[in-house]
Every structure is written in C-alpha cells, then in structure tokens.
C-alpha cells in the first residue's frame, strides 16, 4: 500500500533513468534533506553535533568509499585507516602551506592526494585477488601510519599531533573549536550529500556496471571488453578519494586534532569494513545504515545504561562491548546481506501490505 507504484508511468527516458524513480522515494529523500538542512541546524547542540552527527556523517563518506571498492568492485581492502590518514595529513600540509586556500578546495585536494596513494596501493590488485589482496592493502595501512609517524615533514617538524587552524567557509568558521555546532554539521552534511549523490550516479552508470562486472567474474568482464587495469584502479582511486575526504573531515572538522597511530589505526579500517558488511555490500544506502549502526549504537547503549539506568560507566562499557558483538551477529543471522537488504525486504512487504500473498 505504502509503496504502490501502480499509476506511476515512466513516459520519458529521463524519468526512467531518474536517480529515485519511485515517487515515494522522491518525497522521502526531499523530506530527509529538508529536515537535515533546514530543521536540524536550529536544534543541534554541541553534544549532538560533535558526538552523534559529525562522526555519523564523516564515517558515512568513508563507508561509501569503501563500499565502492569492496561492495561494487569486489576488491577487499583493509587500508582504509591509512587512506584516511593520507587525507588528514594532506589537508594539514595544504592548509599550513597555503593559508589562504578555501577550505572546501583543501578538502577536495586532500581527497585527490588520497586517490593518488590509493592508485599506488591498488596496483597489486591486478595480480593479487581476494584475501591475498586484503593482506596487501593491510600493508598499506601499516606503511602509511608508520610513514606519518616517522617523517617529521608531515607534521611540520613538531613532535606532537597535528592541530587544525581555524578556517572559514562562506564567512563562517567551520574548523577548529571556535566553529559552532550547526556550521560544522552543515559543512559535513554538504560533503555527504554531494558525495552520496555522485556515488549513486557513478555506480548505476557505465563505470559502476564495469566495476560490478569485474566483481562478479573478472575473466568474463575482460571477455566483454572491460579493461581490468583501468577499472580496478579507477575503483581504488575513487574509493580512496572518498576515504581521503572523510579523513580530512575527521581531522579538520570532527576531531580538530589527530595523531596518525591513534586516530587512523587498524581499528578504523575494521570499523569501516564492518559498517559496509552490516549495512550491505554494494549499496549506498547500506553505507549510511552501517555507519549509523556502528557509530550510533554504542552511544545509544551507553546513554541508556548510564543515563537511564544509572549503571557504572565501566560496567556499561563492558556490556556495551559484548552487546555490540551480539547485535552484529544477530543482525547478520537475521539478514546476511545487511541492513540494505532488510530495507529492500521491508519495501517489498510494504508494497503488498495489507494483502500479502
């Protein structure tokens, strides 16, 4: 009933190829965007912005990036933390070397730096496949973190962590702690919306189809004329671009100060990988759902246990750690293809409701 598409006729190619072909989806997305851009900024406070919305948004970008590589192109990567670090350190170097450069440009350039590094570490993917590739990308994780820790040029010869200087976007400070919660939230949201829109279009176009062809069977893809070199490296580049942007945003906006070995360690790579596995491989929506689950669930659990039930912080933490594990197993048993598939099933059911057959 809710998802009944009957009567929605696609009378032109443009309509048929629309990013959201179903009217209900169009309405929903407009509503979500309207709320996100127009309503939330009025109510968001420091806590919600810093602890809930910003991590959710920046990790959504990272999850989209990794989903392009793992979910769409089928190349397993464990180097996410390293590529994030490239984005973060690139933005720091660019910002301090060219103080007048607009912040948006800085972040996009950082994305390109990460893309370059991604291509470099993507090269082995032409020979190495599957789990072996995961190990090769794992090397990139360790190498990059080691490099940022080791080479003092990357942190401008200070012994300490890198700290973001204040920068403005459209006359409003968005980086450093003098930025307001709404400004930082909107800044991240802008990147997420544009990034997700681009990614969605990429994966349903020619590029995305060639990625999926490589993922499903690379020899067959080669036979029908898809060049594996270009396709795989493009996936690595675009994936790293997104991950680099997310790393730059983590550094510039969300945390404001990072240290490579702590903020971008191997745990981040796993975290983002879990996000896309739980959210749904090969789905942009799944990236958001997975990021939401992995970022928000611990905070929700903590607030319920400590805030509502007055549990000791440490007990709550132990329960939270185990509960997160249980929930992950539970959801994967209920739906091995992740939340995105769960949503798809729900959509089907809503279509038929209340008369399922």
Partner 1 sequence: MNLKKLALGALAAAVVATPMALSTPASAYEYTIPGLVYRTGPYAPNGIPFANGYADYFKLLNERDGGIGGVKLNVVECETGYNTKVGVECYENLKNEGDSGAMVFSPLSTGITYALIPKATEDEIPIFSMGYGRTSAADGTVFPWVFNFPTTYWSQATAFVKYVGAQEGGMENLKGKKIALVYHNSAYGKEPIKTLEVLAADLGFELMLLPVDHPGQEQKATWLQVRRAKPDWIFMWGWGVMNQVAIKEAASIKYPMDHFIGVWWSGSENDVLPAGDGANGYLAGTFHSPSNSLPVHDQIRDMLYANGNGAGEVDRVGEVLYNRGMLNAMFIAEGIKNAQAIHGTTELRGKHLRDGLEAMDITEARLAELGMGGFTPEVKVTCADHEGGGPVRIQQWNAADQKWEWASDWITPMSDVVRELVMADSAAYAAENNITPVDCN
Distance from C-alpha of 111 to C-alpha of 115, rounded to nearest angstrom: 6
- For position 97 contacting partner 1 by CB under 8 A, the verdict is no
Q: Running DSSP on this structure, what letter comes out for residue 270?
A: H
- For position 138 contacting partner 1 by CB under 8 A, the verdict is no
The bridge status of strand 257-258 relative to strand 172-173 is unpaired
Residues 23-52 vs partner 1: string with x where CB under 8 A?
Answer: -----------------------xx--xx-
Stretch that binds partner 1, among 15-23, 64-72, 218-226, 330-338 (CB under 8 A): 330-338
Smallest separation (angstroms) from partner 1 to the CB of 142: 9
CA separation, residue 1 to residues 5, 58, 100, 234, 350 (Å): 9, 35, 55, 41, 6
Smallest separation (angstroms) from partner 1 to the CB of 122: 26
Which of 163, 222, 337, 347 contacts partner 1 by CB under 8 A? Answer: 163
Q: What number of other Cβ atoms are within 10 A of residue 303's Cβ?
A: 13
* Spacing of C-alpha 5 from chain mean position: 31
Task: Please say which residue, 116 or 180, places its beta carbon nearer to partner 1.
Answer: 180
Stretch that binds partner 1, among 76-84, 125-133, 161-169, 201-209 (CB under 8 A): 161-169
Q: Running DSSP on this structure, what letter comes out for residue 21?
A: -
Stretch that binds partner 1, among 62-70, 73-81, 108-116, 301-309 (CB under 8 A): 301-309
- Widest CA span in the chain: 68
CB 186 within 8 A of CB 265: no
- For position 159 contacting partner 1 by CB under 8 A, the verdict is yes
Task: Please say which residue, 63 or 301, places its beta carbon nearer to partner 1.
Answer: 301
Task: Please say which residue, 6 or 160, places its beta carbon nearer to partner 1.
Answer: 160
Which of 113, 188, 253, 255 contacts partner 1 by CB under 8 A? Answer: 255
Residues contacting partner 1: total by CB under 8 A: 46
- For position 176 contacting partner 1 by CB under 8 A, the verdict is yes
* Cα end-to-end distance, the chain, whole Å: 13
Distance from C-alpha of 298 to C-alpha of 139, rounded to nearest angstrom: 29
- For position 314 contacting partner 1 by CB under 8 A, the verdict is yes
Stretch that binds partner 1, among 29-37, 100-108, 223-231, 315-323 (CB under 8 A): 315-323
Distance from C-alpha of 190 to C-alpha of 182, rounded to nearest angstrom: 12
Distance from C-alpha of 76 to C-alpha of 272, rounded to nearest angstrom: 12
- Helices 284-302 and 266-279: crossing angle in degrees, nearest 10, is 110
Distance from C-alpha of 79 to C-alpha of 269, rounded to nearest angstrom: 6
Chain residues binding partner 1 by CB under 8 A are 46-47, 50-51, 55, 96, 149, 158-161, 163, 165-166, 176-178, 255-259, 261-263, 265, 296, 299-301, 303-304, 307-308, 312-314, 316-318, 321, 330-331, 334, 342, 349
């Amino acid at each position: 009933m809710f998802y009944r598409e009957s009567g929605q006729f696609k009378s032109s190619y443009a309509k048929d190829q629309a990013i959201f072909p179903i009217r209900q989806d169009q309405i929903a997305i407009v509503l979500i965007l309207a709320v996100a851009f127009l309503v939330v900024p009025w109510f968001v406070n420091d806590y919600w912005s810093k602890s809930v919305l910003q991590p959710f948004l920046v990790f959504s970008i990272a999850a989209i990036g990794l989903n392009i590589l793992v979910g769409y192109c089928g190349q397993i990567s464990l180097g996410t933390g390293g590529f994030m670090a490239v984005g973060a350190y690139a933005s720091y170097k660019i910002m301090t070397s060219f103080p007048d450069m607009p912040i948006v440009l800085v972040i996009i350039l950082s994305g390109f730096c990460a893309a370059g590094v991604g291509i470099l570490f993507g090269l082995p993917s032409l020979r190495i496949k599957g789990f072996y590739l995961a190990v090769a990308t794992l090397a990139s994780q360790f190498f990059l973190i080691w490099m940022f820790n080791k080479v003092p040029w990357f942190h401008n010869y200070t012994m300490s962590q890198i700290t973001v200087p204040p920068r403005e976007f459209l006359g409003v400070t968005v980086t450093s702690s003098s930025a307001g919660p709404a400004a930082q939230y909107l800044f991240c949201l802008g990147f997420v919306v544009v990034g997700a829109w681009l990614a969605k279009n990429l994966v349903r176009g020619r590029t995305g189809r060639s990625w999926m062809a490589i993922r499903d069977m690379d020899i067959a893809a080669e036979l029908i004329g898809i060049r594996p070199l270009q396709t795989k490296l493009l996936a690595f580049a675009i994936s790293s671009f997104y991950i680099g942007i997310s790393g730059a945003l983590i550094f510039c906006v969300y945390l404001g100060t990072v240290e490579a070995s702590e903020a971008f360690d191997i745990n981040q790579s796993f975290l983002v990988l879990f996000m896309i596995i739980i959210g749904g491989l090969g789905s942009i929506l799944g990236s958001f759902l997975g990021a939401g689950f992995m970022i928000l669930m611990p905070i929700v659990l903590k607030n319920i246990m400590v805030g509502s039930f007055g549990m000791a912080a440490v007990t709550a933490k132990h329960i939270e750690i185990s509960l997160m594990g249980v929930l992950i197993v539970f959801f994967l048993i209920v739906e091995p293809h992740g939340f995105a598939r769960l949503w798809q099933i729900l959509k089907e059911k809503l279509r038929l409701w209340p008369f399922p057959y």
